[in-house]
């Protein structure tokens, strides 16, 4: 999974060209597609399938992310509390958090049209 995150980070270093949600399709689909200059990322929220395509490669890398969302959120809260109580180093530093927020805002702006 860490390798997939690093691959996503390489793809998403440039501004996003397009992101779309497919929430209103006739078949039950919830997919996020991000199209950038360095590749594409697609995530299916129903199946948990993450697909990554890097420009210059001729294939999609696929992995199944099947962790329960509630378990994921509980782990995040436990980690945060450990950082507060024990002054542990966070897994995500401030610089990465800012980049993540900027990325999320770019997705939001792209979805607006």
DSSP string, 32-85: EEEEETTEEEEEETTT-EEEEEETT-SS-EEEE----HHHHHHHHHHHHHHHHH
pLDDT for 26 equals 65
Backbone angles phi, psi at 10, to 5 degrees: -65, -40
Every domain of the chain and the residues it spans: 2-112
- In this structure, what token pair is assigned to residue 59? 């294939």
The SS3 call for residue 93 is coil
pLDDT for 16 equals 47
- In this structure, what token pair is assigned to residue 67? 């962790």
Give the model confidence (pLDDT) of 27-44 as tens digits. 667 788 888 888 888 888
Q: Do the Cβ atoms of 46 and 53 come closer than 8 Å?
A: no
Q: pTM of this prediction?
A: 0.51
Q: Specify whether the backbone of 48 is left (phi greater than 0), alpha (psi in -120 to 50) or beta.
A: left
Give the model confidence (pLDDT) of 78-101 as tens digits. 999 999 999 999 988 889 889 989
């Amino acid at each position: 999974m860490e390798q997939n995150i690093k691959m996503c980070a390489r793809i998403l270093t440039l501004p996003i060209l397009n992101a779309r949600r497919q929430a209103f399709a006739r078949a039950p689909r919830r997919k996020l597609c991000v199209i950038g200059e360095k590749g594409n990322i697609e995530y299916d929220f129903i199946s948990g399938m993450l697909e990554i395509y890097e420009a210059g490669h001729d294939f999609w890398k696929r992995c199944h992310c099947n962790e329960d969302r509630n378990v994921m959120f509980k782990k995040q809260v436990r980690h945060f509390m450990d950082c507060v109580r024990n002054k542990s180093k966070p897994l995500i530093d401030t610089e990465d958090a800012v980049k993540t927020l900027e990325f999320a805002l770019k997705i939001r702006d792209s979805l607006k049209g």
